[in-house]
Amino acid sequence: MANNERTFIAIKPDGVQRGLVGEIIKRFEQRGFRLVAMKMVQASEDLVKQHYIDLKDMPFYGGLCSFIGSLLMPLNTILQIWEGLNIVKNGRLMLGETNPADSKPGSIRGDLCITLGRNIIHGSDSLDSAKKEIGLWFKPEEMVEYKSCQHGFLYE
């Protein structure tokens, strides 16, 4: 499998407000994944609804969209694209279960979260959703192409 698979990771407003951005980035970097793009946004509720459209029938959908895309109190979200071998699968394992109570210690949610409604991070759940989410939030020119000096120490 190619080691240039990409995934979309969003540190939600609760993670930003709690000062966990550096810790989350550190975990991905230490694992050996490569950061390709990152930006901070104050997302509109309409864009957040488009992002989470596959959850529209879930009871928490409205609350999730209004929390992240708040117009009354704009909150910052950190958007990232990470690259590496099996990054979608491994990224999801690093995040832990959607409900932090079900997450294992050592995972981001298992170590840093308490409740489902404040689970601090989103990660693509498949290659197809990663492609869709990256296209929704990033323009091609916002991604940086480079070869990390660590590449030979990470991949055979």
60 annotated among ligand-binding-site residues: yes
Q: Which of 41, 40, 99, 95 is nearest to 69 (CA)?
A: 41
Q: Which of 6, 7, 3, 5 is nearest to 124 (CA)?
A: 7
Print the SS3 string covering 95-122: HCCCCHHHCCCCCHHHHHCCCHHHCCEE
Of the residues 7, 100, 122, 138, only one is catalytic, namely 122
Give the Cα separation of 17 and 74 in Å (integer): 12
12 annotated among ligand-binding-site residues: yes
92 annotated among ligand-binding-site residues: yes
Q: What's the one-letter identity of residue 92?
A: R
18 annotated among ligand-binding-site residues: no
122 in active site: yes
So which residues are the catalytic ones?
122
> Which residues are annotated binding-site positions for ATP?
12, 60, 92, 98, 109, 119
> Which residues are annotated binding-site positions?
12, 60, 92, 98, 109, 119
